[in-house]
Amino acid sequence: MSFSGAVLDVDGTVVRGDDPIGGAPAGYERLRSAGIETLFVSNNPTKAPPAYVDRLGSAGYDVDAEQVFTAGTVTTRYLREHHAADDLLCIGDAGLLSQFADAGLTTTDDPAAADALVASIDREFDYDDLCTALWTLERGVPFVGTDPDVVIPAPERDVPGSGAVINAIAGVAEREPDVVLGKPSDPAIEMVRERLPYPPEECLVVGDRLDTDIALGERAGMTTALVLSGITDEAAVEDAAVSPDYVLDDLGEVGRVLD
């Protein structure tokens, strides 16, 4: 099969922590040697693309900022399009707030002044944050989530992600988010298509999550390959609502798809 572009997940697919996943660098080079344009798309909202250039570069992947976007990128763009003049109350890491500030978005800590609530991974999330989110949403303002990842790969073991925080807030507020961004949302698919302007049948999506990576590829009409090097094991594939076109042990086996 001939491909022009490939969407690659980051955590669990090409790196775990700051270390390359076995076989993945060779798989990345196989894609590049085949002339396939690569795009790294991460559901981690806490770091902007330049940080990924450094992180991936240290792990042996030669990339530039135009080859990367994240759930933070998608969320910032969505907020600029739909809430540019609003005061945003953000439950999230400092890295996400920095991206908002760089984009000229305004944030507030006052539930009574907030025009919208943005929820994301927050490693200091506590009871006071839950109260703040509840009081904000009681006023009926929009509820935005950065990404749906409940659990994410970390160097030692899996840890809670943005989805865990979003679900906790949704539970206490008895209200689902108005939109959850990142993969596999429509805004994320739109950004993929902008960066890889090829027919869907000429694009490959590789990732370790069925509900985000594989779902994005399926919704976009692209070929999908699940790698078992991250969050998903082979048993989960049998009962999944989405079905990958290929199941690989790691990115190093991508030649099976290309051949």
pLDDT digits (tens, 9 = 90+) for 169-180: 999 999 999 999
Region of poorest pLDDT, from 37-41, 150-154, 246-250: 150-154
Residue 49 near residue 73, CB atoms below 8 Å: yes
What does each C-alpha distance from 179 to 6, 30, 187, 250 come to in angstroms? Answer: 26, 36, 10, 31
Q: What are phi and psi of 194, to 5 degrees?
A: -65, -40
Question: Looking at the chain, how many residues does it have?
Answer: 259
Is the pLDDT at 60 greater than 90? The verdict is: yes
Average pLDDT over residues 43-72: 95
**pTM score, two decimals?**
0.95
Mean pLDDT of 70-77: 98
Distance between CA atoms of 85 and 105, rounded to whole angstroms?
Answer: 8
182-197 average pLDDT score = 98
Residue with more model confidence, 85 or 235 = 85
Residues 21, 236: Cα–Cα separation, whole Å: 21
Work out the average pLDDT over 155-159. Answer: 88
Residue 153 pLDDT: 86
Read off the pLDDT of each residue in 8-27 and give the average, rounded to a whole number: 96
Where do the DSSP E strands lie in 146-212?
A: 151-152, 159-160, 179-180, 203-207
- Strands 151-152 vs 159-160: parallel, antiparallel or unpaired: antiparallel
pLDDT at 1: 64
Cα separation of 98 and 17, whole Å?
22
Q: What is the mean pLDDT of the chain?
A: 96
Give the pLDDT score at 89.
98
Cα–Cα nearest to 40, from 23, 106, 57: 57
